Amino acid sequence: MRSYRLLQIIPFMLFACASESQQNSLQDYEEIDAATVLDAPKATPGSFAPERLYLVERGEYLVELLGCGACHTNGALEGVPDFDKSLAGSSIGIAYTTPLGDETPGVIYPPNLTPDEETGLGLWSDQQIERAIRVGVGRHSGRKIAIMPWQGYTKMTEEDVAAIVSYLRSIKPVRHKVPDEVKPGQKAKHPFVYFGVYRSRDGR
Ligand code: HEC
């Protein structure tokens, strides 16, 4: 299975400038080269009707193209994906409040997308998976899905989203429970990265 790191393809930024300032609240952070592009795992033979092959293959293509595994695979956010756990969720989280101003930011761990019934999407209906991808509504949380760029998937065609669902149902179930969400103010027990988003004040 291939994995190559592409600098700057996915703009995640871990804060790293600790050594430059005594005051820096980010002294507990280190810089990583995290952008990872990885193959989606192959469908399990016999897990789908032969006439659905086209849909499953299209789903695999879309999942690879849209980089779902870069967040939903253990280790990928640090540039060292665990290929045995492709798409089975990440025990490295993503902070959704900024560690710059918040010593203990809120953190979400991208969940397991394999068909495992206990820790993955095994008990989700097709419609629930489709809604999570295109509308950003989770099955458990009842709130809008954070961090995942579902707005970019909203205009996906019915066929494409059905292809993704067929594909996710066809891969090997992997038991892997990701850590629970950490609310801002609580201390995360598992590592996390932060996506930096800045806007300059120039020109106002
Ligand atoms: C930038 C990282 C990122 C990318 C890229 C991403 N996701 Fe997610 N996804 C997440 C996070 C984080 C959550 C949990 C969000 C929450 O609970 O608020 C999530 C939640 C989900 C859920 C709901 C699962 C559950 O157990 O709640 C599904 C389904 C899902 N993603 C599928 C996909 C698919 C399919 C793709 C590719 C088309 C994708 N994701 C791309 C980060 C990402």
Cα 66 to averaged position of ligand 1 atoms, centre (Å): 11
CA dihedral 34, 180, 197, 150 (to 10 degrees): 90
pLDDT at position 10 is 41
Q: For residue 34, count CB atoms less than 10 angstroms from its CB and return exposed for 0-12, middle for 13-18, buried for 19 or more.
A: buried
Q: What type of residue sits at position 121?
A: L
181 assigned to some structural domain: yes
Are 105 and 131 in contact by the 8 Å Cβ rule? The answer is: no
State the pLDDT confidence band at 49, using cuts at 50, 70 and 90: very high
Secondary structure (3-state) at 161:
helix
- Name the domain count of the chain: 1
164 in contact with ligand 1, CB cutoff 6 A: yes
pLDDT at position 108 is 95
Residue closest via CA to ligand 1's atom 36 equals: 68
Q: Could you report the per-residue pLDDT of 124-153, keeping only the tens digit for each?
A: 999 999 999 999 998 776 789 999 999 999
DSSP one-letter code for 73 = B
- Angle between helix axes 158-170 and 53-65 (nearest 10 degrees) is 100
136 in contact with ligand 1, CB cutoff 6 A: no
Question: Pick from 117, 123, 142, 122: which is nearest to 132 by CA?
Answer: 142
Cα 24 to averaged position of ligand 1 atoms, centre (Å): 31
203 assigned to some structural domain: no
Cα 39 to averaged position of ligand 1 atoms, centre (Å): 17
200 assigned to some structural domain: no
55 assigned to some structural domain: yes
Q: Which domain covers residue 64, as residue numbers?
A: 3-194
199 assigned to some structural domain: no
Taking the C-alpha atoms of residue 193 and residue 154, their distance in angstroms, rounded to an integer, is 25
pTM for this predicted structure: 0.86
20 assigned to some structural domain: yes
Nearest-5° angle of CA 135, CA 137, CA 140? 160
Cα 26 to averaged position of ligand 1 atoms, centre (Å): 27
Whether 204 has a pLDDT exceeding 90, the answer reads no
92 in contact with ligand 1, CB cutoff 6 A: no
Taking the C-alpha atoms of residue 132 and residue 29, their distance in angstroms, rounded to an integer, is 31
Cα 104 to averaged position of ligand 1 atoms, centre (Å): 22
Q: Could you report the per-residue pLDDT of 86-106, keeping only the tens digit for each?
A: 999 999 999 999 888 788 999
81 in contact with ligand 1, CB cutoff 6 A: no
pLDDT at position 32 is 73
132 assigned to some structural domain: yes
> What is the SS3 string spanning 106-147?
CEECCCCCCCCCCCCCCCCCHHHHHHHHHCCECCCCCCECCC
